[in-house]
């Protein structure tokens, strides 16, 4: 299906109206989806001729998970070794509340605990914050804010000006590791922080929320929720005092007092029981803009799952109270559309999740978002689209759809037979998964910039949605192209491309992972740097890897959102390397391999891994990055790393 680029008047659209795979028992057969662990399985493995009884969790794994996770061949489907690299708390969330709860249906508490213990060597032991890691001075300076939300500011530039950083092309080679902080109970570093003059506020998928001294890494305060925190952290005000906001995995927004970490309010913002929080909450005047994604796509692998009813959306919340002021849905409510080949009721339309952080234009009163694919038929004009909403009412103002008829879910696969929930025709899964950027051309025209998994970068008029230009930078794929967003500064768009080396016909797919720099006015290519692995590994060899941190990482492209300054662009790679390039020429000025074990300031064991999602951030004479991302069979990790210019202290 060729790409369709164009702007659609909103009146004709809504009349009447992934990612991390964990424990994905893909359930393409009925035996993989039984409601209970079969007695015959238990009896068989307990036979007297067994010299040693198996771990009880292995019985659950074989009955519910092995059919898919032992099969290999699909980066979306973590292998058994990949699952062992995930944290206990995250696995528990996945099978009780997250994407894999359908696969775990009918398991009792003991079976779930056994499964987690079997898969996660670290188990679910809670971590007590050490007294020696506490700061003596817990005061926090909110007068200077270097990072206020996912996009640094609400326009999502990811730009750090001279007021925020003293790093330059001349001195950046003097960066050295200053300290490392170990995030407890996690294998994925995905939450972009808030950064003030002296404090970093960051969250973990284990539910921990920290205020950390920016210079030393000591802890000023700590709080914890029962659910994984997946979103970026944001800074606003409640009662005239600083407040921290973050969203958990099922779409509950939490507010905390900035000075102390005291919980102030929580609002359940989920639209469905399949809703999921991913993008950051954005402060916008006296309200918070909350994007909502959905996890119907992996659940569709189960032939019994009635695919699909959930869809994406956006809320506006009152910042003081958490009250929902308005909600905009990305599709109409789903209706029955027939039955699958195995007789399961099917529903549509669905999907168009809002994965990433919106941009907010306070002056014109607009919110800009990007959406993903439809997960069932019929396709809508709001999927794979850039959309403008009225900040006051939530009304859709315009829609620019970059790819039409993209209907897809995870029952569709290039590496195994499609399941009965795979729609026909099957789309390519070309989400706008990254945050969109609001900016201005050199003539002052206001535009929205966004990268797509298709490998395209789009610039559209912010007032009308009219296409200004589009440029293809890489081959793109369901796991390629631009993932989490771009950085824009000084008339340039810095766009990363992930493009994994899938074993496909080169005539149809020629991966081109790298960093591409485009002229903001015209889309012309200014320079590019190809990502390099530096070693050789085939896709088949990758499927045989069992080490969490192999000598040669299969994934090595650029997925995380980069950061830029007037002179530098900073980007992390999926093989764990952190690079600084000259923003004008593309010359590599500094690099650091984060895939190693670190001695930490808080006493929690830490190891670096893939750099994905959140990306680097800067403040003063320091550069920071979070290392580790076990999703998509990448290298796990739990390290927050701080680098300082040699011999300098602020």
Q: How do residues 404-416 score in pLDDT, each as one tens digit?
A: 999 999 999 877 7
In angstroms, rounded to a whole number, what is the distance separating the alpha carbons of residues 208 and 229?
8
Contact 190, 183 (CB under 8 A): no
Q: Is the pLDDT of residue 99 over 90?
A: no
Q: Which of 6-15, 452-461, 489-498, 625-634 has the lowest mean pLDDT?
A: 6-15
Q: For 344-396, what is each residue's pLDDT tens digit? A: 999 999 999 999 999 999 999 999 999 999 999 999 999 999 999 999 999 99
**How does residue 32 score in pLDDT terms, banded at 50, 70 and 90?**
very low
Share of the chain above pLDDT 90, in %: 74
Contact 562, 571 (CB under 8 A): yes
**How does residue 87 score in pLDDT terms, banded at 50, 70 and 90?**
low
User: Which domains does the chain show, CATH number per domain?
Assistant: 6-11+135-645 (2.140.10.10)
Q: Is the pLDDT of residue 84 over 80?
A: no
Instruction: Report pTM.
Output: 0.86
Looking at residue 23, the DSSP 8-state letter turns out to be: S
81 or 173: which leads in pLDDT: 173
Q: Is the pLDDT of residue 243 over 50?
A: yes
Looking at residue 629, the DSSP 8-state letter turns out to be: B
Q: For 108-132, what is each residue's pLDDT tens digit? A: 766 776 777 777 755 444 455 677 8
| Number of alpha carbons in the 13 Å side-chain half-sphere of residue 122 | 22
pLDDT of residue 100: 74
pLDDT of residue 34: 35
Helices marked H in 248-341? 296-299
Q: What is the mean pLDDT of residues 391-402?
A: 99
Q: Compute the mean pLDDT over every residue in the chain, rounded to the nearest whole number.
A: 88
Q: Is the pLDDT of residue 431 over 50?
A: yes
Q: Is the pLDDT of residue 38 over 80?
A: no
Q: Which of 73-77, 183-187, 424-428 has the lowest mean pLDDT?
A: 73-77
**How does residue 1 score in pLDDT terms, banded at 50, 70 and 90?**
very low
Coil, strand or helix at 225? coil
Nearest to 56 by CA among 115, 122, 120: 115
Q: For 253-271, what is each residue's pLDDT tens digit? A: 999 999 999 999 999 999 9
Coil, strand or helix at 347? strand
In angstroms, rounded to a whole number, what is the distance separating the alpha carbons of residues 567 and 646?
19
In angstroms, rounded to a whole number, what is the distance separating the alpha carbons of residues 74 and 476?
17
Q: Which of 16-25, 187-196, 294-303 has the lowest mean pLDDT?
A: 16-25
Q: Is the pLDDT of residue 155 over 60?
A: yes
In b/e form, how buried is each residue of 440-469, taking b as 16+ CB within 10 angstroms? ebeeeeebbbbbbbbbbbbbbbbbebebbb
pLDDT of residue 116: 72
Q: What is the mean pLDDT of residues 617-642?
A: 96
pLDDT of residue 417: 86
pLDDT of residue 75: 56
In angstroms, rounded to a whole number, what is the distance separating the alpha carbons of residues 364 and 361?
6
Q: Is the pLDDT of residue 521 over 60?
A: yes
Q: What is the mean pLDDT of residues 141-153?
A: 98
Q: What is the mean pLDDT of residues 65-94?
A: 66
pLDDT of residue 9: 40
Q: Which of 2-6, 247-251, 401-405, 472-476 has the lowest mean pLDDT?
A: 2-6
pLDDT of residue 40: 35
């Amino acid at each position: 299906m060729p790409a369709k680029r164009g702007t659609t008047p909103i009146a004709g659209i809504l009349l009447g109206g992934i990612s991390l795979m964990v424990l994905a028992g893909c359930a393409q057969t009925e035996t993989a989806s039984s409601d209970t662990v079969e007695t015959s399985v238990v009896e068989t493995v307990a036979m007297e001729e067994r010299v040693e009884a198996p771990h009880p969790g292995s019985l659950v794994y074989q009955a519910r998970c092995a059919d898919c996770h032992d099969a290999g061949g699909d980066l979306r489907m973590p292998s058994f070794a990949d699952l062992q690299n995930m944290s206990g708390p995250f696995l528990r969330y996945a099978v009780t509340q997250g994407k894999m709860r359908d696969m775990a249906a009918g398991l009792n508490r003991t079976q779930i605990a056994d499964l987690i213990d079997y898969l996660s060597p670290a188990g679910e032991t809670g971590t007590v914050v050490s007294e020696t890691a506490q700061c003596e001075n817990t005061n926090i300076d909110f007068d200077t804010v270097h990072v206020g939300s996912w996009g640094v500011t609400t326009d999502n530039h990811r730009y750090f000006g001279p007021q925020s950083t003293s790093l330059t092309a001349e001195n950046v080679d003097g960066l050295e590791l200053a300290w490392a902080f170990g995030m407890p109970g996690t294998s994925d570093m995905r939450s972009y922080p808030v950064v003030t003059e002296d404090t970093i506020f960051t969250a973990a998928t284990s539910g921990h929320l920290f205020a950390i001294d920016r210079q030393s890494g000591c802890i000023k305060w700590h709080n914890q929720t029962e659910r994984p925190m997946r979103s970026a952290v944001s800074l606003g005000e409640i009662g005239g005092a600083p407040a921290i906001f973050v969203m958990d995995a099922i779409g509950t927004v939490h507010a905390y007092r900035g000075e102390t970490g005291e919980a102030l309010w929580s609002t359940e913002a989920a639209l469905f029981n399949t809703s999921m929080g991913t993008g950051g909450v954005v402060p916008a005047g006296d309200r918070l803009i909350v994007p909502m994604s959905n996890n119907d796509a992996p659940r569709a692998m189960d032939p019994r799952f009635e695919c699909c009813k959930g869809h994406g959306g956006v809320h506006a919340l009152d910042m003081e109270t958490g009250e929902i002021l308005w909600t905009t849905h990305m599709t109409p409510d789903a209706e029955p559309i027939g039955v699958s080949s195995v007789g399961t009721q099917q529903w549509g339309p669905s999907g168009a999740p809002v994965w990433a952080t919106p941009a907010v234009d306070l002056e014109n009163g607009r919110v800009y978002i990007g959406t993903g694919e439809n997960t069932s038929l019929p396709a809508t004009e709001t999927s794979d689209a850039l959309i403008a909403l009225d900040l006051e009412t939530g009304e859709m103002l315009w829609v620019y759809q970059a790819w039409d008829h993209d209907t897809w879910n995870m029952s569709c696969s290039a590496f195994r037979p499609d399941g009965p929930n795979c729609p026909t025709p099957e789309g390519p899964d070309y989400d706008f998964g990254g945050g969109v950027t609001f900016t201005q051309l050199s003539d002052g025209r206001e535009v929205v910039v966004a990268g797509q998994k298709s490998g395209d970068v789009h610039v559209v008029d912010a007032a009308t949605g009219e296409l200004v230009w589009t440029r293809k930078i890489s081959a793109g794929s369901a796991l390629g192209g631009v993932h989490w967003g771009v950085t824009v500064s000084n008339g340039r768009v810095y766009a990363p491309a992930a493009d994994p080396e899938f074993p496909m016909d080169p005539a149809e797919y020629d991966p081109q992972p790298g960093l591409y720099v485009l002229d903001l006015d015209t889309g012309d290519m200014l320079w590019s740097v190809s990502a390099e692995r530096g070693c050789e590994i085939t896709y088949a060899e990758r499927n045989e890897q069992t080490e969490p941190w192999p000598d040669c990482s299969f994934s090595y492209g650029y997925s995380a959102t980069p950061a830029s300054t007037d002179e530098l662009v900073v980007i992390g790679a999926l093989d764990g390397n952190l690079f600084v390039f000259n923003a004008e020429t593309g010359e590599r000025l500094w690099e650091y391999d984060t895939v190693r074990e670190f001695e930490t300031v808080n006493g929690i064991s830490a190891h670096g891994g893939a750099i994905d999602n959140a990306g680097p951030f800067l403040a003063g004479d320091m550069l920071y990055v979070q290392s580790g991302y076990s999703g998509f069979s990448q290298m796990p990790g739990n390290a927050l790393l701080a680098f300082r210019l040699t011999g300098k202290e602020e």
